[in-house]
Amino acid sequence: MDKIMMNQMQFYGYHGLYPEENKLGQRFIVDLQLELDLQQAGTSDDMKESVNYGHVYEVAKRVVEGEAKNLVEAVAEQLAATLLQTFTKIQAVTVKVVKPDPPIPGHYHSVAVEICRERV
């Protein structure tokens, strides 16, 4: 299956278990891998045969900057479901949500979840 990758999209959301996360918010970085057949788009040069990256970005922004969730796992699930519902050409999606500055003591780069969901 062909893939469209959208990497390192940055959003500001209010997700987390701790009250300060819900009040102050924080950065979230999202990577998407969209699986779909791109042969027609490539041969016809017609956007109707692909998905509009700008529209995908707006969906991701709406989800990540929308209603606060306790878990980034829930953010990833909602984003995957919304993308599959919105864009019928997408057959599968991999969503990675990175939380670069979680309130966890210790030295690390970030924490992240990655899920893969398919159209059924």
Is residue 99 part of the annotated active site? The answer reads yes
In angstroms, the CA 92 to CA 115 distance is: 11
Smallest Cα–Cα separation from 117: which of 94, 98, 89, 97? 94
From the list 48, 61, 89, 99, the catalytic residue is 99
Active-site positions read: 99
